[in-house]
Chains A and B, each alone.
Chain A
Amino acid sequence: MSTSPETVKADLLEVFSKFKGQREELIPILQAVQERFGFLPESAMSALARFTSVAESRVYGAATFYTQFYFARRGKHTIKVCCGTACHVRGAAPLLEAFERELGIERGGTSNDFEYSLERVACVGSCALAPVVVVDEKVYAHMKAKQVKDCLADYKGKSRSNQ
């Protein structure tokens, strides 16, 4: 996806058109922008500041406060390893390490080929199935470190839509 300032600008106008530009819309707008680009491009931040009449520093202040927002391009597939309490006590930590090892990236990182991003999340609401890993929208229940390889093989080279 191109994120050159011009295309970003055109797309942003479309995103903004759904909002009034009020201050309390800041977070919903950030969410909409991220939904559109997969992350928050730099040029979007200043445009957003102008649109909502909020200082750019405050826009950054809000965006960096929440874990949901990203400032760099993400991988095609997002792997979320749940490290909530229920998953932690059933062995989430070795699982996360196995993913790190297998992908050669650290938690929070994105692989060089932009295939995968690896995230550590706190509870996805399926605690009874712990430990849980969510890849894109698919939930892997009772995951074990030895299944990590097979899990990744499901995604390698595939686009998000055709699984």
Chain B
Amino acid sequence: MTFRIDSPARLAEAHASCQAAFARQKSRFLVCAGTGCVAMGAMRVLSEFKRLIAERGLQVDVDLLFEGQEAEVGVAYSGCHGLCEKGPLVRYEPQGVFYTGIKVEDVPEILAASLDHGTVVDRLLYKNVDGSRSLTEHEIPFYSGQQRIVLRRCGLIAPEDIREFVAFDGYQSLGRVLQEYTPMQVIDTVQTSGLRGRGGGGFPTWKKWQYCRSAEGSEKYIVCNCDEGDPGAFMDCSVLEGDPHAVLEGMAIAAYAIGARRGYMYVRAEYPLALSRLHKALHLARQWGLLGENIMGSGFSFDVEIFQGAGAFVCGEETALLASLEGGRGWPRERPPYPAEQGLWGKPTVLNNVKTFAMVPAIIMRGADWFASTGTVNSPGTAVFSLTGKIKNCGLIEVPMGITLREIVYDIGGGIPDNKRFKAVQTGGPSGGCLPEELLDLSVDFDSLRSAGAMMGSGGMVVLDENSCMVDIARYFLEFTVHESCGQCVPCRGGTYQMHHILTAITKGEGLPGDLALLEEMAKAIIAGSICGLGKTAPNPVLTTLRYFRHEYESHIHDKACLALHCKELIAFWIDPELCKACGLCMKACPADAIRGAKSEPCVIIQDQCAKCGLCIALCPPKFKAISKKTGVLKPKTPWTSSRAT
């Protein structure tokens, strides 16, 4: 059953009907189908649920059904729950029982417990550090420090079922805006809320809308930036996968505010799942009359087109994105004129991030004052991060602005695994920086991060531990920008190349005493001489690591040592003859044929031949732990007595 919503009254009717359908569903299993959980086999778990429930002769709801057709049990998949590390995740409603790490084999047990005995399967619940189990999300420390605005429906609804979205107040804000607000009132509301763009820069959203509204011309565009180029971040992807209609609704509200009739979504090519869900959402929104001509009989018309990117980081930059949409190389251009005055095909265009748009309906729904009261005074609201790297609870989080890095890393993230020491947290991707332990109590908001030399960015947050080499991290990001620089500005094209060259030399132990000053000088030149944000921020990873971890650079240059035991050229693998039990596993597997040994004689690595691939460490049985890395001593001396020695 579908609705054709052609008036506010019909929207209210649909809302009530979808909510009622929801209320009638006695219980349901929600399998997380974010990119991470799908990779871990969530779809197989989902089909097993469907199959076994059908086998029980129960009717299964895979969709929300309407009066008279409902089944006893619902099975659906949702968007990302956030705790990707422990996937696949399954949620059992109505209690919200939260199962982690579910395999196909676990499904019968969950079904029996939930449907026959009214119990829960203890061993599949989230296990806390102290060994106790948490029944629902709310009892898990990972979730308790979070506040969900953008992700408010992610994990709770089936993203491809528009009725679930409507049941959860979807399109209510659009309805309210079209009925009760003038475009100026929308802009005023966004201004009062203090919303700043979540694409990284933190530009006040209302200002952009205001400029665009007052720009000349009747043809205007809305563009949603779903390019998410930061390598190592998946927030926007998760929002599109988990709650695509929220973004469409936000875009429609923005379009109403600025007077646009067309919108575009520029989606990163590497996100096939997000793309397919988005296409489905768009199709349903049109079918229901929530996009298209004369929406809800208001006279306002708006439609959206999806554009698939083709793989270029710089296309996340707004002017490059627009050039790419127009069908050419994604080359940034100088601003001004800003897109709000001259954007797509020279027409005034508002371009915002996925999360910015997703926040707008929530602001309309709950009021600008409520939003302004969350987060900090200058950065209201929440920040969505993909928390990854050397951290126990990897995943997608949404936290109020003003939270400290320490709370994110230790309370939500659960700290560093394997008893390693925390070293740094990297935010803002290739444009951002690395912040050290001393800054763990820094407040997370646009301005504090920037003053520390890093950047909010779009939401990548990578935690580094004692084994991460900061010179290598800087080199890594520069390698990325060298590759992604569009090449128009010589300082960016040639400068990043040279910086990368120097950084590579340092990681190889070929650094020279003057290198650090040279790096700093070049960074300045690149920042001054680039037209777009890519070049202007590319040196940030180098500058912040030089500022906070200079000693690591110095030990690479002066002592030829990589204290993190990471840089290949500066470390050596060494087998402790005391510990080696001559099992020969490493010797047989060594791809470089660099390990010698004989029966009951400890193995030895021929240093000149060693490719330093690390396979031997991985293979050495943990009970022996005979192989380790060393730095600063180029070739550890090893006693070698075997007759087979060369």
Contacts and interface: CB of A to CB of B under 8 A. Distances in A.
A binds B: yes
Interface of A: 22-28, 30-31, 52, 54, 58, 61-62, 65-69, 83-91, 94, 97-98, 101, 121-130, 132, 139, 141, 144-146
A52 B326 CA distance: 13
B426 interface: yes
B388 A125 contact: no
Given A85-B429, A122-B313, A146 B615 contact: yes
Nearest to A83: B231
Contact of B312 (A23, A52, A65): A65
Contacts of B274: 125
A85 B395 contact: no
23 contacts: A22-B327, A23-B326, A52-B327, A65-B330, A68-B269, A83-B231, A86-B389, A89-B389, A90-B389, A91-B614, A98-B591, A123-B234, A124-B270, A125-B237, A126-B84, A127-B36, A127-B233, A127-B234, A128-B87, A128-B386, A139-B39, A145-B613, A146-B615
Interchain residue pairs A-B with the least CB separation, the first 4? A85-B232, A128-B84, A139-B39, A122-B231
Contacts of A87: 232
B327 A65 contact: no
Given A86-B232, A129-B40, A66 B310 contact: yes
B504 interface: no
A27 B328 CA distance: 7
B394 A128 contact: yes
Contact of A86 (B270, B312, B388): B388
Contacts of A91: 614
B417 to A, nearest CB: 10
Which of A68, A86, A125, A144 gathers most chain B CB within 10 Å?
A125
A69 B308 CA distance: 13
Given A62-B329, A86-B462, A125 B613 contact: no
B115 interface: no
Contact of A127 (B87, B271, B394): B394
A48 to B, nearest CB: 12
A24 B325 contact: yes
Given A122-B231, A126-B35, A128-B85, A89 B308 contact: no
Contact of A130 (B312, B388, B480): B388
Given A31-B308, A128-B394, A123 B327 contact: no
Which of A67, A121, A127, A141 gathers most chain B CB within 10 Å?
A127
Interface in B536-567: none
B338 interface: no
Nearest to B613: A94
Interface of B: 35-36, 38-40, 84-85, 87, 229-234, 237-238, 269-271, 274, 307-313, 324-330, 386, 388-390, 394-395, 426, 429, 460, 462, 464, 468, 473, 476-477, 480, 486, 589, 591, 613-615, 618-619
Contact of A129 (B39, B231, B386, B468): B39
By secondary structure, the A interface counts as helix
Contact of B310 (A68, A88, A122): A68
A126 B480 CA distance: 19
Given A141-B39, A146-B619, A24 B394 contact: no
A85 B388 contact: yes
Contact of A65 (B84, B234, B325, B329): B329
Contact of B468 (A52, A89, A125, A144): A89
Nearest to A123: B231
A88 to B, nearest CB: 6
A118 B312 CA distance: 19
A43 B274 CA distance: 33
A127 B330 contact: no
Nearest to A52: B327
Nearest to A24: B327
B231 A27 contact: no
B389 A125 contact: no
Contact of B230 (A26, A123, A146): A123
B328 A126 contact: no
Given A89-B464, A125-B274, A126-B35, 14 more contacts: A22-B327, A54-B327, A65-B330, A69-B310, A86-B388, A89-B468, A125-B234, A127-B36, A128-B84, A128-B87, A128-B388, A145-B613, A146-B589, A146-B619
